[in-house]
Amino acid sequence: MAIKDRIQVRIDHETKKKAEDNLKAQGLTLSEYTRIMVANAAQGNIKLRFETPNAQLESSIKEAADFLAGKEDLKGYTNAESLNKELLK
């Protein structure tokens, strides 16, 4: 399908900049995100529930990403007792 139509929206600069920065962190441009959302709406997949992870979840995600990137070692446990002890602190 050829892409011919154009959508224009007006939004304040600060909101646009924040959106671009947040989307860039997810590997998307504002245009790509808009195309995804419009394509989903065209298919009837309209979900208006937007969530932001809390600080603890963000920290956990960063820790996992750093581990996967080889930047950080995660603490390991050799048995259930030591794991439970750490979890119940």
Q: What is the pLDDT of residue 1?
A: 67
Can you give the pLDDT at residue 76? Answer: 86
Q: Is 84 helix (H, G, I), strand (E, B) or coil?
A: helix
Note the pLDDT tens digit of each residue in 21-69: 999 999 999 999 999 999 999 999 888 777 788 899 989 989 999 999 9
Residue range(s) defining the domain that contains residue 62: 55-87
Whether the CB-CB separation of 13 and 20 falls below 8 Å is answered with no
Is residue 75's pLDDT more than 90?
A: no
What are the Cα distances from residue 6, in Å, to 15, 37, 38, 44, 71? 21, 14, 12, 20, 42
Q: Please report the pLDDT score of residue 30 as a whole number.
A: 96
2, part of any domain = no
Q: Structurally, how many domains does the chain consist of?
A: 2
As a whole number, mean pLDDT of residues 76-87 equals 90
Mean pLDDT of 12-19: 95
Is residue 3 a part of any domain in this protein?
no
